[in-house]
Amino acid sequence: MTNAEAASGRPVVLVVMDGVGVGTGDEYDAVHTARTPTLDGLREEGVYREIFGSGTHVGLSSDSDMGNSEVGHNTMGAGRIIPQGAKRVDDAVTNGEIWEGAWRDVVAQASQDGAQLHLIGLLSDGNVHSSWEHLVLLLEHAKADGVSRLRVHGLFDGRDVEDRTAHRYVADLEAKLAELTEGTDLDWRIASGGGRMVTTMDRYEANWGVVEQGWKAHVQGTARPFGSADEAITTMREETPGISDQLLGAFTVVDGDGEAVGPVRDGDAVVIFNFRGDRAIELTRAFVEGDGFTGFDRGDWPDVLFAGMTLYDGDTNMPPVRLVQPPLIEDTVSEVIARAGLRQLAASETQKYGHMTYFWNGNRSDPFDPATETYIDIPSDQVEFDQRPWMKSAETVDYVIEALQEGGYTFLRSNLAGGDMVGHTGNFESTVIAVEAVDLAIGRLARQVKAAGGCLVVTADHGNSEDMVERDKSGAPRTDDDGRPLWKTAHSTNLVPLHVVDYSGQDWRAVEGVEAPGLSNLAATLLTLLGLQVPDDYRPSLVEPAG
C-alpha cells in the first residue's frame, strides 16, 4: 500500500495555538507554568519537533525580528518563505520602487496650496505592523520633494516593543521633525495619537468604536485635547498608573487657542504607513468607502487622496492606491487541497479569523472552491482579554468536533487565540489560564480525532506566552525599582512546537537533515499526511512514513 493510499480517506486536523512557543521553563514561562496534560501527552505519543517561526525563516528582514500571526499564517499556508512585511517594503526601498507611482501622486496632492500630508501609523520599531525606518524615510523624502505642511498621527505600541516606552518614540519623532525643519519654513507637527488597542487599530470588525476614536483624533480633531503628545502620555499615566501604551486614550494636539493643529481637510493627502493589513484595513475603509460605509458615523468625511503602504486586502483591492505592491502567493496549501476536490473547514474566533482564512490563503479572503470549503467565524468577546482569558477556545473546538462528527471533511484547520491575545496583556496569571484553556480544548478535540481515525497536527504561529518578562542582554529577567517583574507584552523569537499524532494506524517519523525546519515546511507536511502531491517549489515535509 502506498503512502497516499494509507493516508487518504481520513481527516487531518490542524490546530494553530496562537502565541504558544517553546520557552526556557522558568517562572516567567506561562506555557511551562500552566497545567498542560494534553500537550505533554501528545509530545510522547507522536512525532514532536521544534521549528522556527520568526525572522528570516518567515520572510522578515533579520533573525532578530519577532514572528507574528500575519506572517506566520502566510508562511504556513504558502509552503515557502515569502518576503514579508518590512522585508517587502525594504526591498521596494532598496530598488526605489516605493518612490515611483503613488508616492508621486501623494506629493503632488500635498503640494497644492493649503494642503497637508498626513502620515498615520504605529510608532514602533518592532517591525510587525510598521517600521520606524520607513517612517523616517517617508519624512526625509517628503522634505526632499517639497511638502511644506505635514502632520504625523502616531499610535502607541506596547505589544511588539517594550511596554511603557511611548514617550521615547514621541521624543525621537519630535527630534526628527525638528532636525528636518530646522532653518526652514516647513510646518510639520505631531497632530494626534492614542494606544493601538483603543485607537484606530481594530481588526476584523471586532469593535468599530476603536476606529471611531481614531477618526475623531486624526481626522476630525475632536478627541481629548492636549498641548503635545508628550503631555497626553504624561497625563494619562498619572491618571492610571501602570497603564499599558496600547491602552492610552485617543487624543488630539491643540494650539494655544484650543484648535486642533492638524485635522484632515478636503484636498489633503493621507498615507497609512503601517505595512501589515489586518489593523489598517478598517481605517482605510473609513477613508475610501462611499455612502455604503456602515462602520460608524463619519460625519462629513473629507475628500482626500488616500494611500496605504501596501495592499491590505487583495479580494477588495483595498486600498486602491498603495505605495508598495504586495507579494503574490499562489498555490497555497488550501488551494492545492481545493484542486483535489477535498472538503475543508476553517474555524476561529474573530480575533484570528482572518489569519485562518485571508493570510492562510496567501492574502485572499474568499474560498478557492466555495462548494468544498466552509469558514466559521466565532465572535470574540469585546472585553479586555485577561478578563476572559479562556476566550473562545471551547467554542472553536465545538465547531471542529461537530464537523468531524458530521463527516466528509478531509482537512480541518483552526486557531486558538488565547496564548497570544492574553499574553499581550502582560497578565501572567491570566495567560496561564489561557494556555490551560487551549490545552483543555485540544484534549477534547484529540479524543474526537482519535474516534474518527484521523490525524492531529498541533503547532503555533509564533511565540509569546512562553516568555512573559522583559530580559536584559544576558537573558536575565528585568525588574522595576521595587523589584517587581517588568512584564512583557510582545511576541518572541523562540521556536514553536510541532506535534503530529496519527490515529489511523499509519506510522510517521521525523525527516532528518531538513535545513532550518520552520513554519514554511508545514504545508508540505500537511500534503504528505493527506497523501497529496507536494509542489516542487515547497519546502520539504517534516515527516515521512516510518516503515
Please check if 73 is assigned to a binding site: no
For residue 8, the model assigns a pLDDT of 58
Please check if 87 is assigned to a binding site: no
Q: Say if residue 2's pLDDT is above 60.
A: no
For residue 4, the model assigns a pLDDT of 42
Q: Determine how β-strand 117-123 pairs with β-strand 149-156.
A: parallel
Catalytic entry in 61, 69, 148, 348? 69
pLDDT, mean of residues 484-500:
94
Q: How far apart are CA 66 and CA 124, in angstroms?
A: 13
pLDDT tens-digit series, residues 139-163: 999 999 999 999 999 999 999 999 9
Please check if 69 is assigned to a binding site: yes
Pairwise pLDDT comparison (76 vs 206), residue with the higher score? 76
Q: Say if residue 3's pLDDT is above 70.
A: no
Range in 1-5, 135-139, 164-168, 283-287 with the lowest mean pLDDT: 1-5
Strands (E), 291-385: 305-310, 322-324, 343-349, 373-378
CB environment 176-193: b (16+ within 10 A), e (fewer): bbeebbeeeebebbbbbb
For residue 315, the model assigns a pLDDT of 52
For residue 61, the model assigns a pLDDT of 82
For the record, the C-alpha cell of 78 comes out as 504558502
Among residues of the chain, what percentage have pLDDT more than 70? 98
- DSSP, collapsed to helix, strand or coil, labels residue 88 as helix
pTM for this model (two decimals)? 0.78
- DSSP, collapsed to helix, strand or coil, labels residue 423 as helix
Please check if 149 is assigned to a binding site: no
Please check if 65 is assigned to a binding site: no
Q: Say if residue 6's pLDDT is above 60.
A: no
Rg for the chain (alpha carbons), in Å? 24
For residue 258, the model assigns a pLDDT of 97
For residue 137, the model assigns a pLDDT of 96
Q: Say if residue 7's pLDDT is above 60.
A: no
CB proximity list for 297: less than 8 A, separation 6 or greater: 212
For residue 5, the model assigns a pLDDT of 40
pLDDT tens-digit series, residues 260-279: 999 999 999 999 999 988 89
Please check if 462 is assigned to a binding site: yes
For residue 314, the model assigns a pLDDT of 60
Q: Which secondary-structure segment (H or E) carries 187? A: strand 187-195
Amino acid at 531: G
Query: Residue 69 catalytic?
Result: yes
- Residues pairing with 153 in the sheet: 120, 192
Crossing angle of the two packed helices 393-406 and 428-451, in degrees rounded to 10: 10
Please check if 32 is assigned to a binding site: no
Q: How far apart are CA 274 and CA 309, in angstroms?
A: 6
Q: Say if residue 487's pLDDT is above 60.
A: yes
Q: Say if residue 217's pLDDT is above 60.
A: yes
Which domains can be identified in the chain, with CATH numbers?
Answer: 3-84+328-470+486-545 (3.40.720.10), 87-324 (3.40.1450.10)
Please check if 164 is assigned to a binding site: no
Please check if 218 is assigned to a binding site: no
pLDDT tens-digit series, residues 435-449: 999 999 999 999 999
Provide the mean pLDDT of the chain. 94
For residue 502, the model assigns a pLDDT of 98
For residue 19, the model assigns a pLDDT of 97
pLDDT tens-digit series, residues 350-397: 999 999 998 999 988 899 999 999 999 999 999 999 999 999 999 999
For residue 85, the model assigns a pLDDT of 75
Pairwise pLDDT comparison (325 vs 355), residue with the higher score? 355
For residue 1, the model assigns a pLDDT of 30
pLDDT tens-digit series, residues 22-64: 999 999 999 999 999 999 999 999 999 999 999 999 998 889 8
pLDDT, mean of residues 402-415:
97
Pairwise pLDDT comparison (315 vs 507), residue with the higher score? 507
pLDDT tens-digit series, residues 373-383: 999 999 999 99
Please check if 43 is assigned to a binding site: no
Please check if 18 is assigned to a binding site: yes
Please check if 478 is assigned to a binding site: no
